Copies of this chain bind each other. A is one copy, B any other.
Amino acid sequence: MRVLVTGGAGFIGSHLCDRLLERGDQVWCVDNFRLGRRRNIAHLLGRSNFQFSELDVLDKPGLNALFADAGFEAVFHMAANSDIAAGGADIRLDLELNQLTSVTVLEAMLAHGVKRLFFASTSAIFGETDQVLREDFAPLQPISFYGASKLAAEAYISVFAHTFGGRAVVLRFPNVVGERATHGVIYDFLRKLEADRSKLEVLGDGKQSKPYLYVSDMIDAILVAWDKSEAYFAVYHAAGIGSTTVREIAEIVVAAAGSADTRIVFTGGDRGWPGDVPQFRYDTSRLQALGWQPQRGSTDAVRYAVERILGNGF
């Protein structure tokens, strides 16, 4: 299959490129290096079935030229602002990087007759709830512009699939950890310890609890959903098994990269930033019914990610 991966030099995008190439797909990767990094794809450059273009997906003429040239059969739209906290300060940031990139991709797909789309969505579309989240849970009341922009993108993709003949797989991601991450709690903690090993400041009270998934399990989820789903608009949830508190993550990071004297200091409050959802629980049975099974539980995933990051660099 001849595929475009947007945001392909990003954290999850670059792991996805690896795996698509492994299975024999022709991969065209684009990234604007806003969050993505050249080093994430350096090992792929020069391979005969891999091509890279430095391109901002919002550059509509540039994207259209690429579509005209490449003859894609499918698009994995991974480009996004993955830094949820950053979007709190500017209503337009996630709007542009998550939603308008999606609209631009849909426009190009419609213009060039490309039918198959994978979209990386998020639990943040649901807002705050203590319910176990099935794919059709309601009400959807996001509390971050990140969540709102991803919900908006899902809505446009729904129209693409229901009215314009597209086929789309929407997979709502949990917190994913692993090497090449460009943001997130492990990354933040390691950076803080790098600057000052005497203490680790943790935003909130440390009790926020989420299921973490190791990146290779996430790529498995993407490919199972992609290969197995038969609906023209299919929505799935993927999540780690169990959950891990921020306090546990801090302790794991300090054990691996701190010193015996590192103190963990909590700023207090039930969340890290306005719009942070303190906890969520996904029902992943729909994706598991297709055969997906994560290899690592949440806390194991965190521990392994810390090990891989320290072994391989950020």
Chain A residues within CB distance 8 Å of chain B: 88, 91-92, 95, 99, 103, 106-107, 110, 125, 127-128, 135-145, 147-149, 151-152, 155-156, 158-159, 162-164, 233, 235, 274-275
Contact = CB atoms under 8 A, between A and B. Distances in A.
Contact of A144 (B103, B127, B151, B159): B159
A275 to B, nearest CB: 5
Contact of A141 (B99, B107, B142, B233): B233
Contacts of A143: 158-159, 162-163
Copies in the complex: 2
17 contacts: A88-B163, A91-B156, A95-B103, A125-B155, A128-B162, A136-B138, A136-B139, A137-B138, A138-B139, A141-B158, A142-B159, A142-B162, A143-B158, A147-B159, A149-B155, A152-B155, A152-B156
A113 to B, nearest CB: 15
A162 B277 CA distance: 11
B159 A145 contact: yes
B140 A145 contact: no
Given A145-B159, A151-B151, A152-B155, 9 more contacts: A88-B163, A92-B103, A99-B152, A127-B158, A136-B138, A138-B139, A142-B155, A142-B159, A148-B156
B138 A158 contact: no
Contacts of A159: 142-145, 147-148, 275
